Every structure is written in C-alpha cells, then in structure tokens.
Structure 1
Amino acid sequence: MNKEWWKEAIIYQVYPRSYQDSNGDGVGDLPGITERLEYIARLGVDIVWISPFFKSPMRDFGYDVADYCDVDPLFGTLADFDVMIAKAHSLGLKIMIDQVMSHTSEDHPWFKESRSSRDNPKADWYVWADPLPDGNPPNNWLSVFGGSSWQWDSRRKQYYMHNFLVSQPDLNFHHPEVQQAHLDALRFWLERGVDGVRMDACNFHFHDRSLKSNPPALVRDTSTVSDVNPYGMQAHIHDKTQPENVAFLVKLRKLLDEYGAIAIGEVGADDSLAVMAEYTEGGDKLHLAYSFNLLTAVHTAAHIRKQVEDFGARVIDGWGSWSVGNHDVARVVTRWEGQSNPAAFARLVLAMQLSLRGTPCLYQGDELAFSEADVPYELIQDPYGKTFWPEFKGRDGCRTPIAWTQDDNGGFTKGTPWLPVAPEHIAIAASTQEEDRDSPLNFARRMIAWRKTMPQLTRGDIVFFDVPEPVLALQRSLEGERSVIAVFNLGAQPVEVSLPQAAGAEKLAQPGLPGEVVDGQVKLPGYGAWFGYAK
C-alpha cells in the first residue's frame, strides 16, 4: 500500500445516533452502521469516521465521555464494535474513531475523584483555579457554548474550567499522567483494529498556566461561532492553542505509527491555517488537519480560492482536508443557498470538493442532497441551540436521521426517532435515488469512482485562473500526466466566461456535469461544470 495512502483517500463521516437504528429505541447504533456498510462501500469512499459512541451521559451527545474504553449501551457493545470493524475491513473500508481528549464528562470517574478534594491522586488532572478576592472567576475566558468558561465547585471551593458545556470539565494536559492516560485509551482501540482517529478540538488541549485574560479580538470571529455568541469577541491566545500541544502531538504520532494508523485534527482557531501548518508539518505530528474555513455561510468562488491558496502557501509540507459539511454546521445545500435546485447543487459541490488539493471529508446525507431540517423548538435536543435560540437554532438541523426509504420514519427506526426524520428527506430517500441514474447518490458514486482514475486530482499541484464570480476555475497538474482544467459555476444562473487556457482543450468524459467550451469561452448552466485536458 502507498505509504501516504491517506492523501488519496476520501473520508465519510457517520453520526451514529442518526444513521441506522437496529433495535427500535429511536437512536442509531453500531449494529445499524454495520447493516449499512455495504452502502458506504458502494459510495467508493475509503475511511469511515464515526462520531463518539463511548459511554456518556449524552448531554453533548457523546462528546462528553464518561469512559474512553467502552461503548455506551445506547450504541451497543464492544462485541458489536468488533463485528462492525471486521465487516468494514472485509469491504475494504477503514474505521476512524472520534477522540475527545480536551475534556470529559463530569460523570467520568477521573473528574469525580478530582473534585472530591484538593489532595487526591487526580486532584490536578483538571484545570482548577481559586477565585479572585471578590469571588469572581480567575479571568475572562469564555465558553464556546455561552457564558464564562469557569464553573464554581462547592466541594473544592474552586472554579473548574470548561471550554464547552458546564458538564464538560477541561483536563489539565500539563499533567503527564493525563497525557499518558489518553495514549493508553487510544492504544486500547488501536489494538482492536482502528485505522485512524479524528482529534476533536485538537488545539484545546493546553491552557496558559498563568491564566492571563484574553484581549479583545481585533476582528470579531463570526465564522466558527454564531454572531450572537460573545465567544468571537475575544482573541483566544491564552485559553487554547498553546505551544506545549506540539510535543503531545509528537507523542501521539509515535503511537499511531506503531499501528500504521492516521490522525486528522479539527482546528478551530483565530488563525487556523497557522495552526494547521504547525500541527501537520514535518511528518511527525498529525497526518492532516481541517478547519471551519469552508464550513461557513460564505461560499463565493473568491472565498474558496483564497482558502485553498492560503493553505498551499502556508502549509508547506503538511496536508489538509476539505470539508463542506459536518455535524456542527447547517447542511451545505441550505448554508450555501442551493435550495433552488438541491440535486444539481449537491452534484456541483461534490465535484468541486473532490477537485481541490487535499483529502475530502464528506458528511452523511450530503451525497443524497439533504437540506437543513427545520426542527421546532419543542423538539430541539442540542444544548447549544437552546442557549442561543432563536437567532441560532443549534446543530440539530444537520443531525436528523437519514431517510433510507419512504416508509415511516424513513426506514431509520421502528420506534420514535430521537430527532424527527425530515419529510423532505423521506421524499428523496436513498432507496428512491437508487432507481434514478441521475440522482445525487448515483452521481456521487460515479464521481468518486472517476476521481480514483485521475491521479492529477488526488496528488497534483493546483493553480487557479482569474475568472469573475460565481465561477471557480482551476488546474491540477502532475508530472507525467496531462494537466486537468476544471471550471465550476457556483451560481443558479447560466454563465459564460472567457478562459483562454481552455481553448482547444479536450473535454474529459467525466460523470455527467453539463458544460461546454467554444473557442475559449466556457459556457455553463446553473450549477454546471466542465473538465478538460489542458492543450
């Protein structure tokens, strides 16, 4: 196998609560994922990233871990996991698990012991601090989910830090035993055959031990957090992204290398590209990283071009991953305003995503052109959404269960689903799309298969051409191969742009996106695209 196979791979994210319920309790589970692995394999993807399924009180739906080495009964058992990974491997799929290291649940035994006194063996495993003389928290740090990132604890008569929910206390990574405990837990899963890890909030591990307050942000962050959230008003230079994290990632990489496993890091930072460069350079830390740069509402051709070009300029020997959808943001069809023709828009976005330099990461349901579901307030589950409703409705709209069939509850469950299955998703269920050759699902299968035959798109260099909005035009070049030109119309209306580099180019027999070139004029219908070999 190619030593850097992950550079040519495609990742597919499964949110287990919403993929397939096997026992009728309304919540997806590991046996349900096992049941659907053939579907995933038919897509042609290589890696299945599964969001957390560890023991948890589920206050943040698995991202608040209470036991890193066991499966929550809601999702099944360790035996179910073993069956799932064995079947995945038999289908040629690799399994990537989600590691949430920066914090635990308050129900974790580590935290229960830590909060019991100031002198127990785990007293310093979490970030504790005395109050200021007036009783206030030690500094101005804020939680991503709203309010102060400090919570008073009456047992220790101290504050503990939480970057997210109050029930998610932050671990003290300055303590070497904390680092080792995480490495031991990861080894547990690597021994069970796991092929990779997605590092949740990977730049949140360390904090500034002097507890300096953050200064105001020079430019308010409204891309990684909602504009109604004051978190974006600070420059987060002391509460996360500390230099000590680099040494920990080196330790992590050494462990992964023992098993030939990979790691992708989620980076949410004021300067995410700088952090991605630092965390992936040198080949001794993370294999690849992604940010929220394409998970925003901004989707102009200029924005997309700038993200890719800036990444290429600043991340010299590292590798990135491009994601336009995941469990934390509104679905791309809605977020990027493709509702006028969701099927055509989904095809166009997928083709563009698979043409960028980096490892694509797809989110479940995007291959079906699912739009953001409208979940009424009384059914909202996400605590983030409850805090900032109604200006920000949380993340439930992208987490609703997959509609597999047009039966009740979309074939997801025989019980009452934990979130409602969107009626508009049932109308375009996976079973319905199976029968339509031109459906987004079947296009995704063809597009992914075609990309595998084009080494220029998996390993080639990338340059962009100057064309007006809403068109994105690029060229992928690889030594020994003919250069490929790709042109995408991100708008709903037909466009015609002059691109001299396309004059005389040979049109590629790609999977079926409409578009043509006549004498260097690229003519594209709404959400159309054109691929050709450069002359």
Structure 2
Amino acid sequence: MIDAPWWRGAVTYQIYPRSFMDTNGDGVGDLPGIIDKLEYVAGLGVDAIWIAPFFRSPMADFGYDIADYRDVDPLFGTLADFDRLLAKAHSLGLKVMIDQVLSHTSVEHAWFRESRQSRDNPRADWYVWADAKDDGTPPNNWLSLFGGCAWQWEPRRGQYYLHNFLTAQPDLNFHNPAVQRAVLDEVKFWLDKGVDGLRLDAINFCFHDRELRDNPPKPADKRVGRGFSPDNPYAFQYHYYNNTRPENLAFLEELRALMDQYDDVAALGEISSEDSLATTAEYTSGRRLHMGYSFELLTNDFSASYIRSTVRNLEAQMLEGWPCWAISNHDVERVLSRWGHGDASVRLANLLTAMLCSLRGSVCVYQGEELGLTEAEVPFEALQDPYGIAFWPTFKGRDGCRTPMPWNAGLNAGFSVGDPWLPVPAEHRARAVTAQEAEPASALHGFRAFMAWRKSQPALRWGDIFFFDTPEPVLAFTRRHGDETMLAAFNLSGEAVSMAWPAHGSVTPVNGHGLAQGTLVDGRLELPGHGALFARLG
C-alpha cells in the first residue's frame, strides 16, 4: 500500500479558524494564526488539516454563508496569507483541505443580489424561486434545519426563495446547468491554487425536487437526529424532497471529473440524509466522491453495540468507496462530554482517539480533542450561534464546542490579546497546551504517542475490518492487511472487565500505543478501565 493515495487511512485535523489563534488582537482567529501554529499541528502526527470556511462572508453562519468564493474575508486575512499557509503546511508534510459550501450562498453574494431583483435578469433562475399558493402561503411544507419555514418572501420578485438553513443562506438552483458550471469554476480556482482536498459541506443538499412536493410526516418515535433541539420541527418530516435527490449523482460525477485533472486530490462529502449510511455508500461509489462521512458517530450513543452496528452497516453497503469517521466537529457537543457523562479523564480521552483511529477508513479529529477538552458552558448573554439563540434553553447551539483553543493558562488562554469572540472556560485553561506539554501523562502526549505508533501499523491504516459480537462494554474487531491480522479490543467503561475469548491461534501483544494495556491469556480477555489490547493474531 505504499502507493496508496495520501487520503486513504489519513488522519485530518479540523481547524475552526475563528477559534484557533488570533494574531491581530480582534478576538477572532485568523489565517496568520494558523500559520503560526502549524508546527504544533504537524507535531501531533496528523496527515492533513481541514480548514473551516474563511471566505468573504457577512458571517450570519460564521462563514458557511459565502459572499465571494474566491476571496478571503478580511476578518481572517488575505489571499496572500492563504498562499503562505499552503506553502508552509506543505513544507511540514501536511496536506490542506478546505471547506466548499456549494449548495447555497450568502444573500450578499453578487449572484443572489442580481437574482432577487426581477424574474427576467440573467441570473433570475440561479436560485430556487417559487410562487406563493393562492392564499399567499409558501409553496410547500419544507422546513429549515435551523427551525421554521424553509421559504422566505422576496417582495422585489413577488416570490419565495428556498433556504434549507438560515434565511441568509439561499439555495442555489442546481437544475440550471449554468449554476453547475459556475460552482465548478469556483472549485477549480482553489484546485489551481494547490489545495489537496475539499470538504464538501451539506453536499446532498444541492438539488431539490422540481415538483416541490411536500415532505411526508415522520412518526414521533422516529424524530431523532444529531444536533436537533427536542422542539425543532425539522425532525417532524422525512426530508425526501428538499435534499438527496437523484440528480445529485450526475453532478458529483462532474465534480469528480474536474478533480481527476489534478494529482492526488480528494473530495470528502458531509452527508446528512434520511439514511446517511446508504447515501454515503452511494455517493462514494464509481467516480463520485473519494470519501464520505455522516453523523452516526456524532450522536449520544456510546455503546459497543451501536458503534459496531453502525460501522458494520456502512461496510455492508460501501462496496467501492472509502469511509471517513469523526466523533467530534464544530457542530456537536464535544465528545468527552457527550460520551463521557462527567468522566473527562485522560484515559477516556486517549481511548476515544485510539478507538476512532482504529476503524477502517480515514479520520477527522477536531481541534482540542488532543487536549481532552470538554464542552464549554456558554451563558445565554455570550451566545453567538443563531441556532442556539433560537432554541434556547432546550438546545444551546454550537458555541460550546467552538470556544477558543487554550494555548496557555493565561486569561485568554494565549488565544488573543483582545477579548475572544467566545469566552474561554477555566477548565480549558487548566488543560492548555503548555500545561500538557509539561505533563508526560497528559492527553496531548497520549495523542501524539498513538498517532506515531499508528503510522507504523499498516493494518490499522489500510486493512479490512471484522467485528466480534462482544458483550458490553467491550468493542473488539480485527484489522487485516496482507499477511497481518491485528486484534483491537477496547473497554468503553471505566471499570476493569474480564470475559471469555475463543481461541484464535497465537496472540502477540503489540505495545507502543500508549494506552492501558490489556491481556489475552488462556482464553480470557482482561481489559483495565478504559484500556485496550492491540495484538497480532497468528
């Protein structure tokens, strides 16, 4: 597998630029801040970085509402800063992936400003416009993920426009070939600059149903999903018609054809549909996306049976593609709080990293996971996320996972000399990089140790996966590559476990991963609390 493309089995470190490092004192992170910290990132042992949107934007959704795809917002720096970032990352051996938000733009984008003016201008059909019903109500029952109706009235045209997210994020009309060509041109701009990959936000939202059919209702017992407030009506529907339409497949093939003109670049699709695993398998088959990831491991279920069934389900359907897994990102509660339920120990943090990075596929880790950061409690008066503000107090939004990186234990955690855009909690300053550098048993050192060890294990990077039907709380599987079979067994609880284990020939424990080591002797698997066993089977 020495000829495998860089992204297969890669660990990508997600950087949320607003919260990574501020160099100009305005309290918001920037591209020069990322440049300053790239040695730190490279030292973690990851293979790539993924940078959340830094494009020109009014920041209604913190950069996911793009007003100009080809320019850097002054809040983050300049195009020259990005060029410097790209060059330095490459000099350190890091690949660079950037977010591309293709399904919608900002209301401030020049395309939309023109489109909204009339029904007969050159870009009149570039967005999803529809007439009102006879009684003036919206054309159908589609809902916005951020709550409420997905249609906004525009008096200049006397029509509604579609927004699957905020009203400030109008959806492009991908049924128009000119829109597809324009979007691909925006992608080409960054590929020409030399980026190594694209993380494609909400990629299954590009097309809508031409007939604008109503979404059917969803039974109360089916109204579940990541990040939903209990009272968000979005969960009340099956979203069959406002996203994941069959026409999207042809567009993905056009996107792949463009990317195939460049050496060793990758497209990673973010997929959230009614059956995200099936959609991920479909979107990564043939000449479509290189990788796909969904939100199945970003839920609250931290059980061996759930993780096993989720990965098995995808493996059964993904006959051609390559998965990518994540247990944290900028949209959900931090995993140590979500799965730890009050246990924020170093042992659990290290176990979560090892478990994630042992699954078949590539991996995305979110900034701060290497420090074992927990979800921050952000008071209402300090909230910035419109999603959280709208659904407070039953859902507090995404600010708690977006607070600034703690680089030291100072007042602003070394993030900024100004007031940070979100407050840094005291418990994060206690887990700052400088503090963990000085503590050999810290989560940071454990993260580095595992990443360095994983690089020397071909089975974990590229091998097949086979799960054992172990009882809770043990998750166990083998990874097989060539003639090597590696057993990986994890105790998801804080208490030691002992269980019978069927004979599998010789067992040779593998050390160097930095976790509390278990044993497999005389037909019994013994695992310490939040411990693991890695062993070669003969």
Alignment correspondent of 1:271: 275
- 1:340, distance to aligned residue in structure 2 (A): 2.1
Say which SS state the counterpart of residue 321 (structure 1) adopts. strand
CA contact (8 A) 2:227 2:332 kept: no
Which residue number in structure 2 is paired with residue 213 of structure 1? 214
Range with bigger deviation, 168-177 or 510-519:
510-519
Paired residue type of 1:204: F
Shift of 1:442: 1.1
State the 1:254 CA deviation: 1.2
Which string of whole-angstrom CA distances, capped at 9 and with x for unpartnered residues, describes residues 162-192 of structure 1?
0000111110011111111111111111111
Find the partner of 1:258 among 252, 256, 261: 261
Structure 2 residue matching 1:98: 3-state secondary structure: strand
Q: Secondary structure at the match of 1:13?
A: strand
**Structure 2 unaligned blocks of 5 or more:** none
The 2-side partners of 1:438 and 1:502 are apart by 33
User: 1:423, 1:278 → 2: CA distance?
Assistant: 44
Contact 1:507–1:532, Cα closer than 8 Å, also in 2: yes
**Inter-partner Cα distance in structure 2 for 1:320 and 1:359:** 6
Mapped pair 1:493 → 2:488? no
Amino acid aligned to 1:68: Y
Distance 2:452 2:341 in 1: 24
Q: Is the 8 A contact 1:200 1:265 kept in 2?
A: yes
Q: Tell me, in whole angstroms, the C-alpha distance in 1 between the residues paired with 2:345 and 2:380.
A: 25
The CA distance in 2 between the partners of 1:34 and 1:190, in whole Å, is: 20
Residues 286-311 of structure 1, C-alpha deviation per residue, up to 9 Å, x if partnerless? 00000000000111100000111011
Q: Which amino acid aligns with 2:389?
A: K
Identity %: 56
Report if the CA contact (8 A) 1:462-1:475 is conserved. Answer: yes
1:384-427 deviations in Å (ceiling 9; x for gaps): 00111111000000000000011221100000000001210100
Do 1:503 and 1:520's aligned partners in 2 also have CA atoms closer than 8 Å? no
* Number of the residue aligned with 1:326: 329
The residue aligned with 1:460 is 463
Paired residues of 1:508 and 1:532 also in contact (CA < 8 A): yes
- Scaled by the length of structure 1, the TM-score of the pair is 0.98
Matches within 5 A, 1:175-194: 175-194=176-195
Residues paired across the two proteins, number: 533
Counterpart position of 1:508: 510
Residue identity matched to 1:356: L
Matched residue type, 1:291: S
How far does residue 74 in structure 1 lie from its aligned partner after superposition? 0.1
* Residue 520 (str. 1) matches residue 523 (str. 2): yes
Tell me by how many angstroms 1:521 deviates: 1.6
TM-score under structure 2 normalisation? 0.97
Give the Å deviation of 1:501. 4.0
Distance 2:101 2:467 in 1: 36
How much does 1:338 deviate?
A: 5.0
Q: Does residue 338 of structure 2 align to residue 359 of structure 1? A: no
Tell me the distance in 2 between the aligned counterparts of 1:504 and 1:456: 17
The 1-side partners of 2:480 and 2:4 are apart by 21
Contact 2:173–2:207 under 8 Å retained in 1? yes
Q: Residues 103 and 477 from structure 1, CA distance in 2 versus in 1: closer, same or farther, beyond 3 angstroms?
A: same
Cα pair distance change 1:182/1:197, threshold 3 Å: same
**SS where residue 126 of structure 1 aligns?**
coil
Cα distance in 2 between the residues matched to 1:130 and 1:177: 22
Partner Cα separation in structure 1 for residue 378 and residue 493 of structure 2: 28
Q: Is contact 2:14-2:366 (8 Å) kept?
A: yes
Query: Structure 1: which amino acid aligns with 2:469?
Result: D
1:264 match: secondary structure:
strand
What whole-Å deviation, never above 9, does each CA across 1:302-338 have from its counterpart, x for those lacking one?
0000111011100101111010000000000001125
- Residue 102 of structure 1: how far off its partner (Å): 0.6
Structure 2 Cα separation of the partners of residues 325 and 499 of structure 1: 32
Q: Contact 1:467/1:499 (CA < 8 Å) preserved in 2? A: no
**Partner Cα distance (1:403, 1:480) in 2:** 43
Worse overlay, 463-472 or 30-39: 463-472
User: What RMSD, in angstroms, separates the aligned Cα atoms of the two structures?
Assistant: 1.2
2:268 partner amino acid: I
Distance of 2:534 and 2:189 partners within structure 1: 45
**What does residue range 73-112 of structure 1 map to in structure 2 within 5 Å?**
73-112=74-113
Which one-letter code corresponds to 1:499 in the other structure? W
Match of 1:65 in 2: 66
Q: Provide the residue aligned with 1:396 in structure 2.
A: 399
From 331, 334, 353, the equivalent of 1:350 is: 353
CA contact (8 A) 1:217 1:234 kept: yes
Q: State the partner residue of 2:153.
A: 152
**SS of corresponding position for 2:322:** coil
- Tell me the amino acid that sits aligned with residue 280 of structure 1: T
Query: Aligned to 1:373, what secondary structure does the other structure show?
Result: coil
The one-letter code of the counterpart of 1:516 is T
- Asked if the contact 1:381–1:396 (Cα under 8 Å) also holds between the matched residues in 2, the reply is yes
Corresponding residue for 2:238?
235
Deviations 1:11-49 (A, max 9, x none): 110000000001110000000000000011011111100
Which amino acid counterpart does residue 269 of structure 1 have in structure 2?
Answer: S
- Displacement after TM superposition at 1:72 (Å): 0.2
2:421 equivalent in structure 1 = 418
Task: Tell me the residue number matched to 1:380.
Answer: 383
Q: CA 1:398/1:341 → structure 2, altered by over 3 Å: closer, same or farther?
A: closer
Q: 1:527–1:194: structure 2 CA closer, same or farther, 3 Å change rule?
A: same
Match of 1:244 among 243, 247, 260: 247
1:412-469 deviations in whole A, cap 9, x for unaligned? 0000000001210100101111122221111111111111111111111111112111
Provide the rounded CA distance (Å) in 2 between the counterparts of 1:292 and 1:334: 17
Residue 204 of structure 2 aligns with which residue?
Answer: 203
AA in 1 matched with 2:75: L
1:210 maps to a residue whose letter is E
Asked if 2 retains the 8 angstrom alpha-carbon contact of 1:502 and 1:532, the reply is no
CA distance in 1, matches of 2:373, 2:129: 43
Q: Secondary structure of 2:498's match?
A: strand
SS at match of 2:358: coil
Give how far 1:4 is off: 2.6
Aligned twin of 1:171: 172
> Is 1:281 aligned to 2:285, yes or no?
yes
Q: C-alpha deviations, 1:250-293, integer Å up to 9, x for none?
A: 111111111221100000001011111111011x1100000000
